Amino acid sequence: MAQPAVYIARDQESIDLGAYSSLYDAYENAKPFSRIKFAPDIYCESVVVRKPGLVFEPIEKTLDITIRQEVRPCFIIDIGPEEVCTINNLKMMLTGPNKELDMKAYQESVVFDNYGSQNCIKEFYVKDNMYCVVMVKSGILKMNNCILSLDGCSRETHRKVPCIVAMPNSSIEVFHCNLKGDTLNNSMTAGILSLKSDTTIHECSFAHFSAGAVMVDMKPENNVVVSENIIMSCQTAGIFIQGVASRP
């Protein structure tokens, strides 16, 4: 079922050879089960993935590719049950909105729980337009050797901002990734927010998350495995799991 790779590059020579200059164009022209390969650059784009089997990765795994957004997730995965999307060796970051353009976001009126509780999950106010780096709405996300950053994210006192959100009935498998929260603006950031979804997190590092590193709300039928990770300088909780079946 594998398809020919689709390439993204900004130089004219590559474009002349068939590469696309934007992530949007590459995605639109990719067939299901294709590999979408990035040339080194900073891509200020967002994509909603609804085609199954896509793999997003650099042309060579050692190359430096950054996908950066202000308020939209870099990736929204919505591919349907049991379908898979894979992201390998990419850097992704969310900077938050421009304060001068949205002053209402900066009212000093909300105080969040700073310890593990049912409220600390509710306070994420999960919805389709919430701020995050990657949102998984349906399907299975497999992420390997990626860097996700919220460092420098604008502080919004009415929002907690996670790197990855797994919505109910989705699934995430995160391996060998580095996730970093904000160190500049005292923003309320979190590593991974898993909501009634299957979740595997293995050999990842989490640092500087004031709203928790791994925050999980699970059902008895969910499979949640969090193993051999490094958690540094995180507040609220390192790993917080709630639900009927939640136990170490």
Please state whether the predicted TM-score (pTM) of the whole model is above 0.75. Answer: yes
Which residues share a beta bridge with 115? 236
Q: When comparing pLDDT for 126 and 148, which is higher?
A: 148
pLDDT in tens, 140-152: 999 999 999 999 8
Helix extents (H) in 31-140: 118-122
Residue 155 DSSP class: P
pLDDT in tens, 47-80: 999 999 999 999 998 899 999 999 899 999 999 9
**Confidence tier at 120 by pLDDT (50, 70, 90):** confident
Question: What is the CB neighbour count within 10 angstroms for residue 67?
Answer: 26
Distance between CA atoms of 39 and 114, rounded to whole angstroms?
A: 41
- In the chain, where are the structural domains located? 69-242
pLDDT in tens, 179-209: 999 999 888 899 999 999 999 999 999 999 9
